[in-house]
Amino acid sequence: MVDLIHGLTAAQVRDNLERVRERIAAAGRDPQDVQILAAVKYLPSDELQALADAGITLLGENRAQQLVAKTEAYPGLFTWDFIGALQSRRVAALIPHVRYIHSVATDSALHQLESHGTPDTKILIEVNVAQDPGKAGIEPRQLPEFLERSPVEVVGLMTMPPLTDRPEDSRAHFAALRELATRHGLRELSMGTSQDFEAAVQEGATIIRLGEVLWARDEII
């Protein structure tokens, strides 16, 4: 079990954020073109003010109930995306609180979006580009059907590559997601985490989902 993170300071987060932006620039992208989403699954609500003070306003949460609680604790301060495994029974509760749902990949989620979605509801479809049985997401060949059936606006795609000790191993999966998005005219690519975000931004990520690299107390190597 991962312990919750306590004791963040705005200065610590601000320094880490600047280093992340420097690494994005070194990877050949304009940092202004890459949205840095702070993945706050392991941050209690009372730690979130440090993120705002450091200039981070886009947050992502993996658990629907925690997302709702955290949005209510900081009304209007942050923009929220849902980035975790999506349970269809949670869709209705999430919709009023989020900008994007990143992880739509089931028929039941589409049905709930049909019932509860609004003209402002926007989603990303999760694609298992590696076709890894241990990962969620539709198969790439299913994407045209999902796009046709979606009752709300699909703005992009998301993926989680297989776990690896070598960030470079994820590059082919990021490139495959980019190619799918380009083929279907989708603008957002949610891919890349603290371990592999540089490869992701080089392959076209527009949103990177970062946790540990933003909270680190030692200088990022």
- Start-to-end CA distance of the chain, whole Å, equals 26
CA angle 64, 117, 38 (to 5 degrees): 40
Average pLDDT over residues 168-172: 93
- The pLDDT, as a whole number, for residue 218 is 63
Task: Give the pairing type, strands 100-104 and 122-126.
Answer: parallel
| Residue 219: pLDDT band with limits 50, 70, 90 | low
- Report CA torsion sign: 188, 189, 192, 196: negative
Alpha-carbon distance 116 to 103, whole Å? 16
How many other CB atoms are found less than 10 A from the CB of residue 219? 8
- 11-46: b (≥16 Cβ within 10 Å) or e: ebbbbbbebbbebbeebebebeebbbbbbbbebeee
State if pTM tops 0.85.
yes
Strands (E), 105-192: 122-126, 153-158, 188-190
Express each pLDDT in 5-46 by its tens digit.
889 999 999 999 999 999 999 999 999 999 999 999 999 999
Express each pLDDT in 91-128 by its tens digit.
999 999 999 999 999 999 999 999 999 999 999 999 99
- The pLDDT, as a whole number, for residue 220 is 44
Domain segments of the chain as ranges = 10-215
Side chain identity at residue 17, one-letter code: L
- CATH topology (fold) of 10-215: TIM Barrel (3.20.20)
